[in-house]
Chain A
Amino acid sequence: AQSVTQLGSHVSVSEGALVLLRCNYSSSVPPYLFWYVQYPNQGLQLLLKYTSAATLVKGINGFEAEFKKSETSFHLTKPSAHMSDAAEYFCAVNGNTGNQFYFGTGTSLTVIP
């Protein structure tokens, strides 16, 4: 079975501070992992994905995530938060057959000026 857990439903950071959004996964097969961002009234947009290549994955808008098998984690980071980063972030893992994603409950990021 596959699942992800996102620790912290709400995260607040100051503008210019480090962003760290946590995701831990459970998977019965080698996982493929994704981070999506959702702005208000918009669809989910892919930030980055891990598909068993390099463990440090770089995505759009300065975000990156590191796959750590020993910790079953895939945390999302960004060195310096911008106001435009305020949104809902979802971590997801692929199912065995690839035709569905299992999403976490999301983390709402607030950036304080």
Chain B
Amino acid sequence: GAGVSQTPSNKVTEKGKYVELRCDPISGHTALYWYRQSLGQGPEFLIYFQGTGAADDSGLPNDRFFAVRPEGSVSTLKIQRTERGDSAVYLCASSLNSGARGDTQYFGPGTRLTVL
């Protein structure tokens, strides 16, 4: 079966531009997560969706970052006025259940964002 997919795989943009990163979770998974992985670091949590709603967005670094999941499946991470410090790999994950402790999160291959 298909895993988590993310598009694009690579995105190069200029400082100040707007970008959208897409995540398509495993079919039937209700929980969806976004993480950011900077060079040499482990992934850092950004936001968690349960269905259509953002249940926890405590990891979003500032109000330039926003994510949606309007139909409870595909999610889009949106970054406004990009800065060079936003350069990282953005990972999406999904899990079958409600995001309870112990649920396995299945990760996509990530989108590598480079802000020039």
Interface residues of A (CB under 8 A from B): 9, 32, 34, 36, 41-46, 49, 51, 90, 92, 94-106
Are B56 and A100 touching (Cβ within 8 A)? yes
Centre residue among B3, B33, B55, B105 by max chain A CB count within 10 A: B105
The 8 A CB mask of B51-71 against A (1 = contact, 0 = none) is: 000011001000000000000
Q: Top 4 A-B pairs ranked by shortest CB distance?
A: A103-B42, A98-B101, A43-B107, A100-B45
Question: Would you mind naming 10 contact pairs between A and B with Cβ atoms under 8 Å apart?
Answer: A32-B101, A43-B4, A43-B107, A46-B106, A95-B45, A97-B101, A98-B99, A100-B56, A101-B105, A103-B42
Are B56 and A97 touching (Cβ within 8 A)? yes
Are B102 and A43 touching (Cβ within 8 A)? no
Are B102 and A51 touching (Cβ within 8 A)? yes
CB distance from B55 to the nearest CB of A (A): 6
Main secondary structure of the interface of A (DSSP, over half): loop
The 8 A CB mask of B98-111 against A (1 = contact, 0 = none) is: 01111111111110
Are B43 and A94 touching (Cβ within 8 A)? no
Distance of A9 Cα from B33 Cα, bound (Å): 26
Are B56 and A99 touching (Cβ within 8 A)? yes
Distance of A36 Cα from B110 Cα, bound (Å): 15
Is B79 part of the binding interface, using a Cβ–Cβ cutoff of 8 Å?
Answer: no
Are B42 and A98 touching (Cβ within 8 A)? no
Chain B residue numbers with a CB within 8 Å of A90 are 42-43
CB distance from B65 to the nearest CB of A (A): 15
Task: Identify A45's interface contact among B40, B44, B48, B107, CB under 8 A.
Answer: B107
Task: Identify A46's interface contact among B33, B45, B104, CB under 8 A.
Answer: B104
Distance of A92 Cα from B103 Cα, bound (Å): 13
Is B113 part of the binding interface, using a Cβ–Cβ cutoff of 8 Å?
Answer: no
Are A43 and B43 touching (Cβ within 8 A)? no
The residue on B at minimum CB distance from A45 is B107
Distance of A102 Cα from B43 Cα, bound (Å): 8
